[in-house]
């Protein structure tokens, strides 16, 4: 035990960055992740009145393993969220594996720098499918099940 109390790991699995207009999606994503056993940091739940907003964002970006960006036209148009996703994406470019994971919640054209990234697509799907896609998208490995594809050279006589 440390002099000021027990030592607690401040690292969480995901920091969720979003535009305020997409708060419903952001909190649904955080709840789905936490129900599945992940830990999250999300402004609406974790930043307190009187906190230094920029310092809290910086801390979340530095201490969370990955950042999820809730992609929508609102998110992509915001200067504040641009600062958040570019900082997270920079961590990926510097060698961090999948440090920024985009989650598309509304039809939108992704920014040119985000274009090459595969995103989790939740647009137009029911809740159970959205949850499955989200959890598969953040998993460390891809779940593959062998299929029995039809031989492409067979004739249809």
The residue ranges of every structural domain in the chain are 12-138
pLDDT digits 0-9 by tens, 106-124:
999 887 877 888 899 999 9
- Where is pLDDT greater, at 57 or 126? 126
- In angstroms, the Cα distances linking 14 to 39, 50, 61, 112 are 6, 23, 9, 24
| pLDDT for 15 beyond 70 | yes
pLDDT value of residue 73: 94
| pLDDT for 154 beyond 70 | no
Q: Phi and psi (nearest 5°) for 17? A: -105, 135
pLDDT value of residue 33: 96
Task: Write down the pTM of the prediction.
Answer: 0.80
Enclosing H/E stretch for 62: helix 53-63
* CATH architecture for the domain at 12-138: 3-Layer(aba) Sandwich (3.40)
């Amino acid at each position: 035990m440390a002099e000021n109390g027990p030592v607690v790991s401040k690292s969480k699995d995901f920091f969720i960055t979003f535009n305020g207009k997409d708060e419903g999606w952001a909190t649904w994503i955080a709840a789905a992740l936490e129900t599945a056993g992940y830990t999250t940091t999300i402004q609406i739940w974790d930043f307190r009145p009187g906190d230094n907003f920029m310092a809290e964002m910086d801390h979340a970006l530095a201490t969370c393993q990955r950042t999820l960006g809730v992609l929508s036209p609102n998110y992509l148009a915001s200067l504040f969220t641009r600062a958040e996703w570019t900082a997270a994406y920079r961590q990926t470019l510097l060698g961090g594996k999948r440090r920024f994971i985009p989650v598309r919640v509304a039809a939108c054209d992704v920014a040119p720098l985000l274009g090459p990234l595969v995103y989790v697509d939740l647009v137009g799907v029911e809740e159970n499918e959205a949850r499955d896609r989200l959890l598969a998208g953040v998993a460390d490995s891809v779940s593959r099940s062998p299929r029995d594809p039809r031989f492409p050279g067979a004739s249809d006589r």
